[in-house]
Amino acid sequence: MTLTEQLIRYVRAKPIDDADLRAASLYVLDAIANAVAGRASGPGRILADWAAQASRDAGREAFFLGGIIHSLETDDLHRASVVHPGCVVVPVIVALGRRQGTKGRALLKATLRGFEACCRVGMAVGPAHYRIWHNTATCGPYGSAMAAADLLDLDAGQAMHALGNAGTQSAGFWQFLDTGAMSKHLHAGRAAEAGIVAAELAARGFTGAPAILEGAKGFFAGACPDARPDALLAAPDDPWQLRQTSIKPWPSCRHTHPLVDAALEAHAALRGQAIAAVAVTTYPAAVAVCDRPRPESEYEAKFSLHHCVAAALGDGEVGFGSFDEEARRRLAGLREKVTVKVGEPFAANYPQAWGTRVEVRTTDGGQVAAERLVCKGDPEMPLDATQMVAKAGHLMAYGNLEDKAARALIDGILAMADDGPLPDIPGLNA
């Protein structure tokens, strides 16, 4: 039996209880709220303009939704796999569920299974993969295909072909970071679309490689020099990976969140004292992706450790307005005082835990330090349901959805756990 077949069998056999479904409804809420807000971003407006002109079947619908969910850097993140699962799985259940009239609980079960598949593949790729490849783009298609296979009621053989053909479409490089190009949103959209197309074709008898993961010319061999195949099915009694996925409190790269959390604590302790120097200690991947002392665009600032710590220390908050041209100019002096290095225990803990230490030296010789081994929004320090609903409301307001419509959308999504239907999403329905 191939690894793909084993993964499908494992995911489909894993028990689901009511608490899992309620948790899943909150993650669907987070993703859809990100879609509503994402329409107001620069890339989101371009995608919306394209979508208004394009012929949108379920695959194209998922592409559009995936792209806008991922456009503001406020969507979820699974640490151990370094995958953003919501932006590739939730578009599938929206696009297919709406067309099929699928009930809420079935949609949430597909969500849990889709998250599980892409996160488990992500945990198996090994750390070297992430240096070149964007895990959401490469591992995401396995999750979108798993969710689509569930909704299309594919048997085990058809599901294997769906994942095989989704996996062969894996692609997405980090090169876009050099110029702040918009490709990252394309990564999420294509990963969502690939799974639907692969599953719809599998339902018609279109075959895929059974050993797409471990084959001599498969995914691990081609893109994962230190793959960990045993991780794919490890710890089968763990909670669903959805319940181990972090929710973002701040609109920036998830690698910046531990230092934002720590820096906000340091800001409160400083009580307005002038800052002479800031030293950040973190893990290698954070530096590899976000070592950007002088960001020249809003998107680069969201991927800048230097800018994010300056915003938290200087303003005492990090929000949508923390990355624009005015903020970058205003925080430039403080940003120049920031140094970044890799150190322990953060390097050894990654990727299971993403941590950072922020040390601030004041102009009068004082010192303030704060450290996070995990941070706000992680499973160990989760946002509760009230906080997640509040985040969703904030995102919907940013997307210009009026209060009454936002409240109805939030209530409708949460009611899916009681088998309520997928609610209409104002401005996003095909």
Amino acid 429: pLDDT: 63
pLDDT in tens, 213-250: 999 999 999 999 999 999 999 999 999 999 999 999 99
Please classify residue 422 by burial: count the beta carbons closer than 10 Å to its beta carbon, then call 0-12 exposed, 13-18 middle and 19+ buried.
buried
Instruction: Mark whether 155 and 30 lie in a shared domain.
Output: yes
> Do the beta carbons of residue 278 and residue 359 sit within 8 Å?
yes
Residue type, 363: T
Residue 423 placed within a domain: no
Residue 162 placed within a domain: yes
pLDDT in tens, 190-215: 999 999 999 999 999 999 999 999 99
pLDDT in tens, 64-108: 999 999 999 999 999 999 999 999 999 999 999 999 999 999 999
In the chain, how many domains are there?
2
Amino acid 323: pLDDT: 96
Amino acid 339: pLDDT: 98
Residue 428 placed within a domain: no
Please classify residue 247 by burial: count the beta carbons closer than 10 Å to its beta carbon, then call 0-12 exposed, 13-18 middle and 19+ buried.
buried
Amino acid 53: pLDDT: 86
pLDDT in tens, 102-154: 999 999 999 999 999 999 999 999 999 999 999 999 999 999 999 999 999 99
pLDDT in tens, 318-350: 999 999 999 999 999 999 999 999 999 999 999
Instruction: Mark whether 403 and 307 lie in a shared domain.
Output: no
Q: How far apart are CA 419 and CA 240, in angstroms?
A: 20
State the pTM of this model.
0.94
Question: Which residue segment(s) compose the domain that 282 sits in?
Answer: 254-372
Q: How far apart are CA 148 and CA 191, in angstroms?
A: 12
Residue 156 placed within a domain: yes
Amino acid 212: pLDDT: 98
> Do the beta carbons of residue 198 and residue 165 sit within 8 Å?
yes
Q: Which CATH number covers residue 329?
A: 3.30.1330.120
Instruction: Mark whether 145 and 209 lie in a shared domain.
Output: yes
Q: Which CATH number covers residue 230?
A: 1.10.4100.10
Instruction: Mark whether 170 and 41 lie in a shared domain.
Output: yes
Amino acid 78: pLDDT: 97
Q: Average per-residue pLDDT in the chain?
A: 96
Which of the four pLDDT bands, split at 50, 70 and 90, describes residue 180?
A: confident
Instruction: Mark whether 9 and 53 lie in a shared domain.
Output: yes
Amino acid 135: pLDDT: 98
Instruction: Mark whether 221 and 363 lie in a shared domain.
Output: no
Instruction: Mark whether 43 and 189 lie in a shared domain.
Output: yes
Instruction: Mark whether 186 and 38 lie in a shared domain.
Output: yes
Instruction: Mark whether 350 and 397 lie in a shared domain.
Output: no
Residue 223 placed within a domain: yes
Instruction: Mark whether 232 and 259 lie in a shared domain.
Output: no
User: Rounded to a whole number, what is the distance in angstroms from the first to the last CA of the chain?
Assistant: 40
Residue 185 placed within a domain: yes
pLDDT of 165 > 80? The answer is: yes
